[in-house]
Structure 1
Amino acid sequence: MKTSLLAGASALLLGACAMTPAALPETEALNRVAAQSGPYRALGYQSPFAGFEPHAPTGPASWRAVNDAQTEG
């Protein structure tokens, strides 16, 4: 118990004595790089449901008629 307490206290002490972190980079420079300035074509939005046809359930059918409709020929 005393060993884990000593290890935890020493980790906190070493963390408090550490150097201050470096400043964050300038974000405005990153935005300038990401800005579109060139001969890019605009991509239009296309709905993922374009061409979707809803299907309603139908009642039970004769199995023989369904099998005959599926045959080749």
Structure 2
Amino acid sequence: MKSYFLAGAGALLLGACVGTPTPLPETTALERASQPTGPYRTLAYEDPFRGYERHQPSGPGSWRGVNEQQQGGHH
């Protein structure tokens, strides 16, 4: 219990020794970037399924036929 108290007191003491806080970043540049005007390219909608082809399962084939296809028809 004492060690928690000492750790907390140490953190408070170190925090009190810190100088002036760092200033916040300038936000005007961020505001300019969020404006819709300017030399920005326009983004057009692209269909995520463009070029998609539907495939139907053909069912299980015989193992012998599949193996022969993989081997090139050689025994």
> TM-score, normalization: structure 2?
0.50
Instruction: Find out whether 1:51 has 2:51 as its counterpart.
Output: yes
Number of residue-to-residue matches in the alignment: 66
1:27-42 superposed matches below 5 A = 27-32=27-32, 34=33, 35=35, 36-38=37-39, 40-42=40-42
Any gaps of 5 or more consecutive residues in structure 2? none
Q: For the structure 1 residues 25 and 61, does the alpha-carbon distance in structure 2 shift closer, same or farther, using more than 3 Å as the test?
A: closer
1:1-73 superposed matches below 5 A = 6=6, 9-32=9-32, 34=33, 35=35, 36-38=37-39, 40-62=40-62, 63=65, 67=69
RMSD over equivalenced CA pairs, Å: 3.4
Deviations 1:8-67 (A, max 9, x none): 5334212123223133133233221x14512x4423222332111121212234527x83
Output the amino acid matched with 2:15.
G
Output the amino acid matched with 1:54.
R
> TM-score, normalization: structure 1?
0.51
The alpha-carbon deviation at position 4 of structure 1 amounts to 8.2
